[in-house]
Amino acid sequence: MAVFEGSFTQAEPLHFALVIGRFNDLVTTKLLEGCQDCLKRHGIDTNPHGSQVDYVWVPGSFEVPLVARQLAMSGSYDAIICLGAVIRGQTPHFDYVSSEVAKGISAAAFQTGVPVIFGVLTADTMQQALERAGIKSNHGWDYAMNALEMASLMRQLRPNLKQQYSSVNSGTLAGSLKSATLNNIPAESEEKV
């Protein structure tokens, strides 16, 4: 058995895309700063004209999942970090937006196999959002750490998955799975009910 765990230092450079919702930019800009700080401290070149991080600004959090999925499908990134802020108002709009954004970001990761990090703050008040974006702590840092770890982990898992798929295709794994399955099927009871 093997143990796989993401690392925060890489021999090969990692590539990230950040998708940032412009709505509530007082909050999202702070999240972006925390994210960039973390990536820089872990050796990632965050220069927009560099080769390791691309930045995509979208109107708001609701638009984030679609763009994240497109970026993940490109095959150019080790992880996508989604940043946004949805703040509760006096209508059900908050519930619809936050729910759909969470589902969309999750779907983007599952559909593409690329880590898509959920960095969309949902808060009851602007004060709560600001506290999570830099006054007390900056969750942007946490989102970047998640991206670093998951990108590293997926790089480790991909060669193993390729090896397993090639074993299945060559018949070696398929044969052993077939015999294991046949050996574990209980014999039919002769007793009739």
Active site residue 49: no
Model confidence at 161, pLDDT cuts 50, 70, 90, reads low
How confident is the model over 17-23, as a mean pLDDT? Answer: 98
pLDDT at 103: 98
pLDDT band at 2 (very low <50, low <70, confident <90, very high): confident
Alpha carbons 68 and 49: distance in angstroms, whole number: 20
> Is 166 among the annotated ligand-binding positions?
no
Structure tokens given for 15 = 């590539």
| Residue 85 is labelled as binding a ligand | yes
Closest CA to 8 of 133, 171, 141: 141
Question: What pLDDT shows up at residue 166?
Answer: 57
CA distance 114 to 173: 26
- 4 in a known ligand binding site: no
Confidence (pLDDT) at 170 = 55
pTM: 0.81
pLDDT score recorded for residue 3: 79
The annotation status of 110 as a binding-site residue, yes or no, is: no
CA 93 – CA 95 distance, rounded (Å): 6
Instruction: Give CATH superfamily name and number for 16-160.
Output: Lumazine/riboflavin synthase (3.40.50.960)
Which pLDDT band, with edges at 50, 70 and 90, does 169 fall under? low
Per the structure block, which two tokens stand in for 101?
A: 């954004």
Q: What are the structural domain ranges in the chain?
A: 16-160
Which of the residues 15, 42, 49, 93 is marked catalytic?
A: 93
